[in-house]
Structure 1
Amino acid sequence: MSHTAHIRSHRKPRRSASTIAMRAGVASGVLGTLAVATAAGSANAAEPVTQTLELPVLTGDLAAQVAQSAQATQQAAANYQLQAERDAAATAAAKEAKKDLADAKAEAKKKAEAARKAAAERATRAAERTTLTSTSASSSDSTSSSTATGSAAAVIAFVKAQIGDAYVSGGTGPNSWDCSGLMQTAFKQVGVDLPRVSQDQSTFGTQVSLDNLLPGDILYWGSAGSAYHVAVYVGDGMFVGAQNPSTGVAEKPMSYDPPTGAVRVL
């Protein structure tokens, strides 16, 4: 028997070929997995990730709603514009109305003041006429027997010949007259050149009292220098003048319209 027959071998037992192959396959799989993971990581690190957002597709109903909303917005804008225009028009109208009211008040005040002055003047003339009525009556008594002679008679004859002619403002004959036009033409018959208007005729010649009238004296109504009517005294408490459009040239008693004063030019 060999002297080594009972010595155990210290060598590790050999693995079988199948075991070795299996371990080799596992290792290869692990290495392959690591390689794939590494490649994927490198690829992800090299290329950015792109995300795609999908926008909603407008359907027919949604498009109609959008159009309706746009139309509503336009209508609202139009309404706001129209309201703004109306507000502006209302403001302008209010300002215009306020101005018209102020103008109307001013005009009414002006007319009222003019009416007041006219009424005061009428009252003054009425008082003067009332005062002069008795004076005219006494004057007519003192002159009732007076008889016109010479130039006065010619003036009186002329004005009486025009009785019945029409009264026309600015008229100087031969068939229509105003008061001062008749006086100017009548006195021109005897060579007296009277001014054209009653205001100037009332200061032409010598002022005389209504108590001492003579035929041929010029009567005036209003104050001297601003008279609004003239006529000629023809005696017996009567006068002839172009009165107004309704009477024309007429002969009237002194009491019909008592004059304010008189001037003597003959």
Structure 2
Amino acid sequence: MSPNAHITSHRKPRRPATQSWVVRTGVAGGVLSTLAVAGTASATTSEKPTEATMEMPAFNAALSTSIAQSAVATQQTAVDYQVRAQVEEALDQAKADAKKAKEEAERKAEAERKAKEKREADEARASRTSERGSLGTKSTSASGSEAGSSSSSTATGSSASLVNFLRAQVGKAYVMGSTGPSSYDCSGLVMAAYSQIGIDLPRVSQDQSTAGTQVSTSNLKVGDILYWGSAGSAYHVAVYVGGGKFIGAQNPSTGIVERDMSYSPPTGAVRVM
């Protein structure tokens, strides 16, 4: 091989000067563009955003007065509600009291009506018994006249007067210590009844239970004094009016009544006429 033979060179070929200038100019322009963009971004980034603010109302005298007025109005509303609740509660209580009073009045009226009906029934029975007693008195009086027994006629007449007086007192009030004419206790009624026919009796039931002759309760006559308890210490007295009945001032709740003997059988009896 010839020493001048071509050997490939490892050196780069040289570029034309014009091309090199263009490349340098392009590189410089790119750098400058990049710096311009970066500067713009930096400037944009360095600007802080504007914060939004809200203006608060000034706390002055007008605002203070408004707040005070609002508080007073709120308090007044609460008071109004409380007063209204109390009024409604009072009205409910008044209605309940009125209802209770009405029911009580109706109950009393019903009790009085029944008591009146019973009293009228007792009076009707007493009237029928009195009529039968009058017929018996007339019959006994006639028999006594035929037999010439004037004392029997007088006793029968006194018994009728006694019973009539007692029946006229039925329905009157029982009052402890009273002897008439509008109210009696038990011994006061017996004493007042016998005073109508001229017989004076002791004032109290203990003494009245021994004022006459002791008789059996199975052999009674009209006018006999009935007593409850022991003779000499009796606690209650009444008068036998015939037909298995007696009249007496029983107690404050019943007053003076006519009752069957079975209602309260007496302990004993005395005869004073």
Using the size of structure 1 for normalisation, the TM-score is: 0.48
Q: Relative contact order: is structure 1 or structure 2 higher (C-alpha 8 Å, sep ≥ 6)?
A: 1
- TM-score, scaled relative to structure 2: 0.47
